[in-house]
Structure 1
């Protein structure tokens, strides 16, 4: 069974976003192949993909390492989100399917419950699922891919929003889903604009995590991982 470069790419990206590979950490093919239990071939392809996404940089004679985003680059991510997310939400109001709407409503219900009961550790996964479903509901694979990649990079660069805003965040999500359900694109867009503005304001008060980490020694956490081989084999 050969492990696909896509699976390796997902594993490396997840480790970069989680901080297992901090900004500036060396990413040698040997290290990654051993960490994920794969050959160097899918690792090499995965590094090329991650470089195109901006998570990795490669320098001659130095090899690949985790990118070090500047404060300006971090701020730009928030500006781009403010432009793209309302567009995606407006399109979702026109193009969403009943199945997607059912998932969104279920996620909002779960998110509200977890936030109200203080189960904040569950919210990151629910947030990711909610935003990915909403992006797919736009009916535009290109826009959905951009929104998903943008969210991954913001998660990587910035800390999570303060738990004190969790209940308000899921209340805002619920209002957006209600507008999407009614097919009210303008209302959905306006609610998304307001939601993003509040989220961006909360994050701008904090110095980006990935920027702060650039001043520290980049040490890779040595936990050994195995790539999930349950699917997507090539």
Structure 2
């Protein structure tokens, strides 16, 4: 059922300056976290009030999100939150299962101490979020973890592809991540351990198992 109301947050007391890119990120996060449901109508006025901005940057942000596939703009009807089809989700899962074990294997040899430190910090924050029950932080932290790992691979083309897919993949897993939050962050720690050892095959294997477990949870969740 389509939900019409987008005024879900307390309006800001004054209009603030935020770029379309910043608004795009904020609205995208709300879509990924389910604040805005698939099929929900988004209005420029409602979003402008929610984020305390004028309508113009909202309009541009919605155009950006339409290009990314997070919203669909229907002329004369409005803008609506998009919904991942089962086929699109399956395609993303298949691509991820190929790319990320490759990235992990390469990162085992090419990572720097700075990469390792960043990954350790993200894992620490993820485990703290699980412990304190602040599960809404997990999708962004998970995306950050896999982004750093792709950067650590040292493969510019691979990193670029992962960059293009990372938000859609976060969307696929946004509901699944809290469900197996503790296991997921234990697996992240095992990946970091493999990178620290410089063991490419171990890194590839633990990443492949991490993705297999996440994919299995996603597919079970979506069984009719």
Give, in whole Å, the separation in 1 of the partners of 2:39 and 2:29.
16
- Pairs within 5 Å for 1:75-90: 75-90=90-105
The corresponding residue for 1:159 is: 176
The number of aligned residues is 204
- Whether contact under 8 Å (2:176, 2:214) holds in the other structure is no
CA RMSD of aligned residues (A): 2.7
Give, in whole Å, the separation in 1 of the partners of 2:179 and 2:129.
15
The corresponding residue for 1:94 is: 109
Instruction: Quote the offset at 1:172 in angstroms.
Output: 2.4
Q: Give the 3-state SS of the residue equivalent to 2:88 in structure 1.
A: helix
The corresponding residue for 2:187 is: 172
Q: Relative to structure 2, which stretch is displaced further, 140-149 or 54-63?
A: 140-149
Q: Give the 3-state SS of the residue equivalent to 2:177 in structure 1.
A: coil
Q: Which has the higher contact order (CA 8 A, sep 6+)?
A: 1
Give the structure-1-normalised TM-score.
0.74
- Whether contact under 8 Å (2:177, 2:184) holds in the other structure is no
The corresponding residue for 1:218 is: none
The corresponding residue for 1:204 is: 219
- Pairs within 5 Å for 1:52-67: 52-67=67-82
Which consecutive unaligned segments of at least 5 residues does structure 2 have? 1-15
- Pairs within 5 Å for 1:99-138: 99-109=114-124, 111=126, 118-121=131-134, 124=138, 126-138=141-153
- Whether contact under 8 Å (2:72, 2:79) holds in the other structure is yes
Instruction: Quote the offset at 1:127 in angstroms.
Output: 3.2
Deviations 1:102-155 (A, max 9, x none): 12234445555776xx54435715434433322332333413413522332223
